[in-house]
Amino acid sequence: MAGLSAGLSALIVIVLVYESCSADDGHLCAPSSCGDIHNISYPFRLQHQPQNCGHPSYTLSCESNYQTVLNLYEGKYYVRQINYENYTIRVVDSGIHHLSIPLHFLNSKNFSDGDPYTSYDSYQQRRSSELSEGTVVFLMCENPVNSPFYLEASTCFSNNGEYSSNSSKMYRYVKVGRTNAADVEDSCQIDRMVPTSWPGNIACSDVHNALEYGFELSWLEFKCNQSCGSGQYCSLDDANGVHCERRYRYPLIESILRYVFSYGEASLSKKLVA
């Protein structure tokens, strides 16, 4: 019996050591590069690399024109920067490169608990009905809108056929920055929108800059699970140090905040083009 117990203990030690080594294998892979992105390393990997070089949820591809690509929610995004200090990746809608306007519709409702990425300001968004601190919103309106916050799309996108002119039935506008349901005029519907991390002012030139700069996604959840374990919440201090705490320290407050956030998103969704 004692021999069986000793053998079982040895087997457990071997399994734990193997799993530990397997988890660390990715850190032994040399960083890869594609185009202007030179620091692709764990948990990220390129498709042609061995699978143990990265986590499956953080696989990127390298196109023949040396563009690093992230496929997210059926959308295609070009990677502009990976920051391993604050656990973010900055991407831009692939449509910006070819058409000057985004091809994909993306907002905070796309992100769910357990997804590999979250919007960089998702925790702030959950505490209000705001769509985002930085969002470029494309609107279609039945009537002209006289507002300094609504930019005429035909002025900002003179080289794009879809937005270079207003039809007799619809007026097209662009709005940049903080947006919530109350900011959308009654005669308007949201055609498409995309987040941005660009801190510019409201002008046509800033619309282009905001779109070309792209937006940051956080992969802190992955680091959190590694450092704190599943079911834990973590945050970054000013020095980008990870701090762990229980995810639902105040469950009642958390439930109330989630309800408020969901109500704001539901109000906004009524403005979306079907």
Q: How confident is the model at residue 205 (pLDDT cuts 50, 70, 90)?
A: confident
Helix (H) or strand (E) holding 206: helix 204-213
Per-residue pLDDT reduced to its tens digit, 223-239? 888 888 776 777 777 77
Cα 189–chain centre separation: 23
CA-closest candidate to residue 236, choices 88, 91, 109: 88
- The dihedral sign for the CA sequence 201, 217, 184, 103: positive
How far is residue 273's CA from residue 188's CA, in Å, rounded to a whole number? 9
Only one residue has tokens 């200090």, namely 85
**How many whole angstroms separate alpha carbon 151 and alpha carbon 32?**
41
pTM of the full structure: 0.72
Which pLDDT value is given to residue 220? 87
Condensed to tens digits (0 to 9), the pLDDT of residues 21-60 reads 444 455 678 999 999 999 899 999 999 999 999 999 999 9
For residue 270, pLDDT beyond 60: no
Q: Where are the domains of the chain?
A: 23-66, 76-269
- Listed in order, strand segments (DSSP E) in 84-207 are 88-93, 118-119, 135-141, 151-152, 171-176, 188-195
Cα–Cα distance for residue pair 165/154, rounded to 1 Å:
5
Q: Which pLDDT score is estimated for 134?
A: 75
Cβ distance 29 to 50 under 8 Å? yes
Tens digit of pLDDT for each residue in 115-172? 888 876 554 343 333 444 578 889 999 999 988 888 888 888 765 555 555 555 788 8
Give percent helix, percent strand, percent coil of the chain, each to the nearest 5: 35, 25, 40
At 72-117, the pLDDT tens digits run 888 899 999 999 998 999 999 998 877 678 888 877 777 777 788 8
